[in-house]
Amino acid sequence: MDHRLSRRGLFAGAAASALATVLGGCDSTPGVTATTPGPSIRPPDDNTPVALWELSGGFADAAALALRAPRLVIFGDGEAIADAAYRARLDADQLESLATSLTNDLRGPDAQKKPSVTPTIADVPITKVSVWSPAGTLSFSAEGLDELRADHRYADALYDARDRLATVHKSVSAKAQPYLAARVRVVAMPAEDGPADPAPWPTDVKLPTADAGGIRKADLDGDAARGAVRALTRDLDQRGAWPAYRTTDGILVRASWRYLLSYE
């Protein structure tokens, strides 16, 4: 068994205790207001995504968008995965508290109000938050949510939900416990320049087919996924530093990869 590609894992008691401290103080975090008490929400104890925080669009090239992972996904079994790169585990009480707070944030009428003025900042990302509830999924999408925060364009409830998830994201990322999976996504893009002697494209990784814009993307599993993990460099910090490779046809490309989430 290739343990680098195993999905599940257990965490030490100290890490769980630290996460409990962060979640327990969530409502006192700057920018997060307490919600009106409501019935506790106990999510299903399985791999159902309970909370999802995503960013789409924004000032990024097409290849980076093709590789972008959700900022945070939290499953019903308590597993929390940040940027498809790091993981931690919430216990049942932490998960119930978070799910209840997020449901209260999104079920109110203010959460569904449109901004009074259409955002005018160019190339800003769209924030989307989705939360499982017994009555169905609650969600919102907001263009330029962070960029327009000082202008109060959106309801406080949206920022409360976003900040609750950001608190968990920060805790998960700080622990730096790697997230591993059996499936990966490989993305490559044309490179206009590169090193004088770029590395050859690895022979055991099939070069994905290019789309109309020249972006190459493929989701791999099994031996193909393991080959990509071994041979290609990962842009773990998402800084856009993708290595250059020369294909057998003489094409210069830059490429990176990430692990896929269970539902992708």
What ranges do the domains of the chain cover?
3-175, 183-259
This prediction has a pTM of 0.81
Instruction: Report the pLDDT averaged over residues 18-41.
Output: 46
Rounded-to-integer distance, Cα 159 and Cα 54, Å: 14
pLDDT digits (tens, 9 = 90+) for 42-73: 777 778 999 999 999 877 789 999 999 999 99
What is the overall mean pLDDT for the chain?
A: 84
Bridge partners, residue 245, by sequence? 199, 253
Which is higher by pLDDT, 184 or 193?
A: 184
Dihedral of CA 128/143/55/15: which sign? negative
Q: What is the pLDDT of residue 37?
A: 52
Percent of the chain's residues with pLDDT above 70: 83
The greatest distance separating any two alpha carbons of the chain, rounded to the nearest whole angstrom, comes to 63
Residue for token pair 């591993």: 180
**pLDDT for the residue numbered 11:** 35
Per residue in 196-236, pLDDT (tens digit) is: 889 999 998 999 999 999 999 999 999 999 999 999 999 88
